[in-house]
Amino acid sequence: MYQIQYTERNNKKASEYETRSLLYLLTMRADSEDISLFFIDCLNDLTGSDESCNTLWDAQSKGVSTLNPTKIGESLITLFENYISELEFNHHILLMPKLKEGYLVDESLLSFGFNNFLNEKKTYLIEGLKNEFKRRNNNNISQIIIDNMDHFLQKTVFVIGQEKEKYIQEIVHFKNKNSYSSDFYNSIFDEIRDKQTALKNINVEGIKIKHPSELLAYKKLLKGNDIKLMVLNRFIGTELFKSDIPIYYFDEIKGMDRQDVNDLIQENNSKISRTFFNKNNKNSFWLLLENIMLVFAKNTNADIRNIYDQIDKRLLISNYTMDEQSILFFISLIKSGINVDN
């Protein structure tokens, strides 16, 4: 049985580091594609999960700039308490700002294990964790707990936080990501942060669970695919997968009856969705979007058929889960979104 403890609501800077943790799990790990859900402020600041809630990525973030080894050890306490709890947490991650020089063996690494700390600093870090554990447990600590700390530290991953825009750029697979301003990327990051922060208001304090799947009922989570879709929507300037028919697509449905139109729109949305969420072909989708936007930028008055004819044919082939009609529909959505922005 695992009892959820109250987690203090943090300030803006701390919230931004929690969002960095979320986006690190979403985009920057070799196993990122395995993480489908993000529980907010339930088991920790952030807990990533696979769809079945059987594999957990436990993440703690610490956004303070004066983070010495002792404070790093203190910051690990919730991760450690989860490590020795009845729930099984498969990964343990602490995200923090860039550390002062002189703490690490290799200071160029953005992700590293406990052994990257210099031996002297390891001692301070361990003492910080021990003291925080004793503070929470009436100054008591057993040898079993100390042994568990040693095992825990060898499994923990330490991650250095990066600039906000970097995390959004990791979702996007354009050739030229720098064509968008830092403010544009940062605004998307802030929107994700605000959605994450709002979920902190859902109170789950004191709830006892036997399995993380029991948390699903409280809806205190974000879905990875929803975050990726939100980012895509910001780039095309409109919401994908809504029932409205883009004005620039009307010529394609002239003469069709209502049911056939509904079936076609549904099929187009389904093919766009299948392509966007294809984990094995995500680069091709973003390159197709970039190509469409570049063609449109050269001639804002071009109709969707004209734009289609100018798309790199290799991209039409590589996006094999979309056909001509679904690509035309996609172009009309982009054209509508860009025109609204302008």
Segment 275-316, tens digit of pLDDT: 999 988 889 999 999 999 999 888 888 999 999 999 999 999
User: Residue 204 above 80 pLDDT?
Assistant: yes
Place of tokens 């986006």: 23
Q: Return the SS3 of 117.
A: strand
Residues above pLDDT 70, as percent of the chain: 96
The mean-pLDDT minimum among 19-33, 85-99, 245-259, 320-334 falls in 245-259
User: Residue 72 above 70 pLDDT?
Assistant: yes
What confidence tens digit (pLDDT) does each residue in 34-66 have?
A: 999 999 999 999 999 999 999 999 999 998 878
What confidence tens digit (pLDDT) does each residue in 147-198 have?
A: 999 999 999 999 999 999 999 999 988 888 777 899 999 999 999 999 999 9
How many Cα atoms are found within 13 Å in the side-chain-facing hemisphere of 105? 11
Mean predicted confidence (pLDDT) in 19-45: 95
User: Residue 238 above 90 pLDDT?
Assistant: no
User: Residue 106 above 50 pLDDT?
Assistant: yes
* Cα–Cα dist 148/304, whole Å: 62
CB 45 within 8 A of CB 51: no
User: Residue 12 above 70 pLDDT?
Assistant: no
Strand ranges in the chain using DSSP code E only, listed in sequence order = 2-3, 37-40, 46-49, 56-61, 91-96, 111-112, 156-160, 208-209, 221-223
* Cα–Cα dist 134/141, whole Å: 6
Per-residue pLDDT, 6: 61
Per-residue pLDDT, 48: 97
User: Residue 342 above 50 pLDDT?
Assistant: no
Q: Quickly state the pLDDT bin for 10 (edges 50, 70, 90).
A: low
Q: Quickly state the pLDDT bin for 7 (edges 50, 70, 90).
A: low
Per-residue pLDDT, 226: 95
Intra-chain end-to-end CA distance of the chain, in Å? 55
Per-residue pLDDT, 339: 62
Per-residue pLDDT, 237: 85
Q: Which element (helix H / strand E) includes 8? A: none
User: Residue 4 above 50 pLDDT?
Assistant: yes
User: Residue 243 above 90 pLDDT?
Assistant: no
Per-residue pLDDT, 175: 81
Strand ranges in 155-259 using DSSP code E only, listed in sequence order = 156-160, 208-209, 221-223
For residue 104, is it left (φ>0), alpha (ψ between -120 and 50) or beta?
Answer: beta
Q: Return the SS3 of 337.
A: helix
User: Residue 71 above 70 pLDDT?
Assistant: yes
* Cα–Cα dist 184/165, whole Å: 8
* Cα–Cα dist 302/315, whole Å: 19
CB 74 within 8 A of CB 126: no
